[in-house]
């Protein structure tokens, strides 16, 4: 059962542009929503995370927008750079739970 659906599967943007990746979840018990960045040959690295008591969280060029009623959240990367080229995963978990449920990933390419 795919509890977290992510789109698009791949994304190409120009340097300086805005990259937007979307996720939707099914389980209303989820209350922690992180985004991970993964480079080839490396494990995922936590980028930014949000709890459902806020609708937006910003850290540098990265912003999460969260819509609890729609059960959707998105990652916005402002002023995208070639170094941002990587695979991005959204995920969700219950605070008191033991596991993260990941989306299928978005391969982002930022052209110089």
Partner 1 sequence: GAGVSQTPSNKVTEKGKYVELRCDPISGHTALYWYRQSLGQGPEFLIYFQGTGAADDSGLPNDRFFAVRPEGSVSTLKIQRTERGDSAVYLCASSLNPGYGYTFGSGTRLTVV
Chain positions contacting partner 1, by CB under 8 A: 4, 6, 32, 34, 36, 41-46, 49, 89, 91, 93-105
- 14 vs 96 by CB, closer to partner 1: 96
Output the smallest distance, CB 44 to partner 1, in A: 5
Instruction: Tell me the Cα Rg of the chain.
Output: 13
Which residue, chain included where needed, has tokens 């070639």? 82
Output the smallest distance, CB 74 to partner 1, in A: 16
3-class SS string, 35-92: EEEECCCCCCEEEEEECCCCCEEEECCEEEEEECCCCEEEEEECCCCHHHCEEEEEEE
- 42 vs 69 by CB, closer to partner 1: 42
Q: How far is CA 76 from the centre of its chain?
A: 8
The DSSP element (H or E) to which 12 belongs, if any, is strand 10-14
- 43 vs 83 by CB, closer to partner 1: 43
- 46 vs 78 by CB, closer to partner 1: 46
Output the smallest distance, CB 102 to partner 1, in A: 3
Output the smallest distance, CB 89 to partner 1, in A: 5
């Amino acid at each position: 059962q795919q509890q977290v659906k992510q789109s698009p599967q791949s994304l190409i943007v120009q340097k300086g542009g805005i990259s937007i990746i979307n996720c939707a979840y099914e389980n209303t018990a989820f209350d922690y929503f992180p985004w991970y960045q993964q480079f080839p040959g490396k494990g995922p690295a936590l980028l930014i995370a949000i709890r459902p008591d806020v609708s937006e969280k910003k850290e540098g060029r990265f912003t999460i927008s969260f819509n609890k009623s729609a059960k959707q959240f998105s990652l916005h990367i402002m002023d995208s750079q070639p170094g941002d080229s990587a695979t991005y995963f959204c995920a969700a978990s219950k605070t008191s739970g033991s596991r993260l449920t990941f989306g299928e990933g978005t391969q982002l390419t930022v052209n110089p």
